Amino acid sequence: MRIVSGIFKGRRFSPPPAITARPTTDFAKESLFNVLNNRLEWDALTVLDLFAGTGSISYEFASRGVKRVVSVEMSDKQLGFIHKVLHELSLEKRIFPVKMNVFRYIQQGKETFDLIFADPPYMLPELPKLPAMIFSSKLLKDNALFILEHSANNNFTTHPHFMEERVYGNVHFSLFCDSGNLK
């Protein structure tokens, strides 16, 4: 696993053996972030990373200068790895890991975010309901962006907040927004 751009570009990390997370591929990350580079001002963003896994996406956002990332993950092993990398990169004041069930966080979270990224297990039964859960929560700021990573088995084109889908190999990213301002 490596960070593909920003101040930590090229840094490599080896997740512990038997980790249950499926990190987003470097090719898919790089392609998605190239799209986002043209749409976002990194240093002004607050980001929520749901199903953070190894923290790969959180590190990408921090490497690009995002001011705050909250990473929600349930696994002790994965959280331990996130804390280890945060320490190595001195990012303890920019990335904030939270051990919690993602669905409970969506219901109870008090902070609002400019961007929410979710990379749930592709076979998660609740995956098709995630966009509706996010948009009915109080987690999004006005004109915020929600990005959902999923497989080809899901199609969100009829969701009222759907903007576009990007496909990189087997990785699909659906982008949602409550306004047309980010198109």
> Which residue segments constitute the domains of the chain, with CATH numbers given?
26-182 (3.40.50.150)
Q: What is the structure's pLDDT at 106?
A: 97
Look at residues 98, 128, 99 and name the one whose alpha carbon lies nearest to residue 113: 98
The residues near 104 (Cβ < 8 Å, ≥ 6 apart) are none
Asked if pLDDT for residue 157 goes beyond 80, the answer is yes
Residue 32 buriedness (CB in 10 A; 0-12 / 13-18 / 19+):
buried
Look at residues 101, 100, 105, 128 and name the one whose alpha carbon lies nearest to residue 116: 105
Q: What is the structure's pLDDT at 181?
A: 46
Q: What are phi and psi of 88, to 5 degrees?
A: -60, -35
Q: What is the structure's pLDDT at 183?
A: 43
Chain centroid to Cα 161, Å, comes to: 18
Asked if pLDDT for residue 50 goes beyond 90, the answer is yes
pLDDT > 70: percent of the chain: 97
Q: What is the structure's pLDDT at 61?
A: 97
Q: Residues 25-38: what's their mean pLDDT?
A: 91
- What's the rounded Cα separation, in Å, for the pair 176 and 164? 7
Q: Express each pLDDT in 96-144 by its tens digit.
A: 999 999 999 999 999 999 999 999 998 999 999 999 999 999 999 999 9
Question: From start to end of the chain, where are the E strands?
Answer: 46-50, 68-73, 95-99, 113-118, 140-150, 162-168, 171-177
Asked if pLDDT for residue 37 goes beyond 50, the answer is yes
The residues pairing with 177 across neighbouring beta strands, listed in sequence order, are 145
State whether the Cα torsion 125-131-135-137 is positive or negative: positive
Q: Express each pLDDT in 69-103 by its tens digit.
A: 999 999 999 999 999 999 999 999 999 999 999 99
Look at residues 132, 139, 176, 169 and name the one whose alpha carbon lies nearest to residue 151: 169
